[in-house]
Structure 1
Amino acid sequence: MIWPATLLGAVIGLAVASIPGALLGGLLGQVLDRRLRLQSWAALRERLLPGAAQRDEWLLFVLLGRLAKSGGRVLPAHIQQARSEMQRLGLKAEEQRQAIAAFARGKTGRDSLRGPLQRQQARAEMLLRACWRMAWVDGQVDAAERELLNLWGKWLGVSTAAQAQFSDAYAPPRGPLVSTASNAYQRALNLLNVTADAEPAQIKQAYRRLLSRHHPDKLAGSGATPESVREATEHTRELHQAYDLIRQRHGFR
């Protein structure tokens, strides 16, 4: 942990008034560090540089980008889920462009998130629910995703019990798709309406057709209820899972 204002105060004080100045500068800097919760140089830059501060309204998409990249590779399902969140929030074209830029920035992992999150405790549930939806979009939450979510929950002041409730709300239902490998594969084939001997081109075509038909973006502007959007999002996630399983079994990209 680095106390940037403490170090800067000590250095400036040393230059101005030797050792007594360094002690006084360090003491004043420590007060500033504690009051502003500055624990890194990045946090100090957020306070001092106008362009470095995180715009709170796009913080959600920075978080989603960080989550999507935490496993090493951003999947199409992650991108679709980010678009679903834009739809859920009713973002217009320019707002969507800014959200996409925030998502891309989140993938770099360069942003210091502790300060921005601590300022967003009033929106904690909304942020974490969206993050759990993203984490579960590929059907599982890996260790890196869970570690991030637990850390963000701590900074947002959310209890472990509440985090478990958010996770359970978006975990895929237990059923035949995950009961055994053979049952999962057969259900995936049924979901895409293809046979085990189908060619890769046929499987891809069936997947894209169903994805286009059932994607929640299709509900945009139709006055659909939140429940309908959620059902469409769930069905889209099942299609992603089914296609990934079949693709891996058949060995094509």
Structure 2
Amino acid sequence: MLWPATLLGAAAGLALASIPGALLGCLLGQVLDRRLRLHGWANLRERLGWRPAPTDDDLLFLMLGRLAKSNGRVLQSHIQQARSEMQRLGLNVDAQRRAIDAFARGKTARDNLRVPLQRQRERAEALLRACWRMAWVDGRVAPDEHELILLWGKWLGWETAALERLNEEYAPKRSQQPAPSGGSYQQALQLLGVSESSEPEQIKRAYRRLLSRHHPDKLAGSGASAERIREATETTRQLHQAYALIRQRRGMR
């Protein structure tokens, strides 16, 4: 086990006062290591506020967490959308755990994402699509969300016009009926094709089956029109909100 403060104290003491200084520095460093519970260099970096650069897998969920929190409050639909992205990527249990941690870390807005994003230009479209999906999941893109995505798009090398065209693919149609929200419990049940007597597992299976069938990602790479992608995005949003309402009413986890 490496004791960073002990090593640094010994090195500083040796430089300043030879062997006696090294011994004194080692002793003081050991006290500091124990008091701060520094068991290695990683612990010391954390104490100093240094954060490692996010991995490729973490970056997306850092961005999604930042977007979800940017308007002040993380909604259940934001959490469901993050879970949908995990399913879309086929993450295993360990990878999902890391993604959840990254999502929570992203909500703190402490990470500077400029350099990591500038290194991800090959993945730019996939990252930006996921961001627009998250931004639209509650039916509207707040100014802070819009500004963030435009900034990230700039760091990824995208022009504003191209970003807005991508945004339009996920914007819901204004003429469509709004998704069930505050009191439309029966509409939510009807949308998922379940009843009040359905078991929680039946409801979950119905939700996941419909989400898989209508997710816009299935259309994005198939040459589908922007109109069809918008319709699929709106349907996905409605499914998220319906499921969230049923879970809340039924006390489901």
Q: Give the alignment's TM-score, normalised by structure 1.
A: 0.59
1:61: how far off?
Answer: 0.6
What pairs up with 1:10-159 in 2 under 5 angstroms? 52-159=52-159
Alignment match of 2:218 (pick from 226, 234, 238): 226
- Could you tell me the percent identity over the aligned residues? 54
- Partner of residue 199, structure 1: none
Q: Given residue 169 of structure 2, which amino acid in structure 1 is its aligned partner?
A: A
Distance of 1:133 and 1:144 partners within structure 2: 15
- Partner of residue 171, structure 1: 171
1:55: how far off?
Answer: 1.3
- Going from structure 1 to structure 2, the CA distance change for 1:135 and 1:104 (only over 3 Å counts) comes to same
> 8 Å contact 2:132–2:170 — kept in the other structure?
yes
Distance of 2:205 and 2:167 partners within structure 1: 27
Distance of 1:209 and 1:172 partners within structure 2: 28
- Going from structure 1 to structure 2, the CA distance change for 1:158 and 1:76 (only over 3 Å counts) comes to same
Query: Secondary structure of the equivalent of 1:101?
Result: helix
1:114: how far off?
Answer: 0.8
What pairs up with 1:170-189 in 2 under 5 angstroms? 170-177=170-177
1:149: how far off?
Answer: 0.6
The one-character-per-residue Cα deviations of 1:148-170 (angstroms, maximum 9, x if unpaired) are 01111111110111111211111
Q: Given residue 160 of structure 2, which amino acid in structure 1 is its aligned partner?
A: T
Distance of 1:151 and 1:172 partners within structure 2: 23
> 8 Å contact 1:124–1:156 — kept in the other structure?
yes
Distance of 1:185 and 1:80 partners within structure 2: 17
1:87: how far off?
Answer: 1.1
Distance of 2:200 and 2:175 partners within structure 1: 21
1:140: how far off?
Answer: 0.4
Distance of 1:142 and 1:188 partners within structure 2: 26
Distance of 1:169 and 1:127 partners within structure 2: 15
Q: Given residue 133 of structure 2, which amino acid in structure 1 is its aligned partner?
A: R
1:226: how far off?
Answer: 2.7
Q: Does 1:215 align with 2:208?
A: yes
- Going from structure 1 to structure 2, the CA distance change for 1:144 and 1:217 (only over 3 Å counts) comes to same
Aligned length: 185
Distance of 1:236 and 1:149 partners within structure 2: 21
Unpaired runs of at least 5, structure 2: 1-44, 221-228, 246-253
1:92: how far off?
Answer: 1.0
Q: Given residue 226 of structure 1, which amino acid in structure 2 is its aligned partner?
A: K
> 8 Å contact 1:215–1:236 — kept in the other structure?
no
Query: Secondary structure of the equivalent of 1:215?
Result: helix
The one-character-per-residue Cα deviations of 1:53-84 (angstroms, maximum 9, x if unpaired) are 22122101100000001111111111111111
Q: Given residue 215 of structure 1, which amino acid in structure 2 is its aligned partner?
A: R
Q: Given residue 95 of structure 2, which amino acid in structure 1 is its aligned partner?
A: E
Distance of 1:99 and 1:134 partners within structure 2: 15
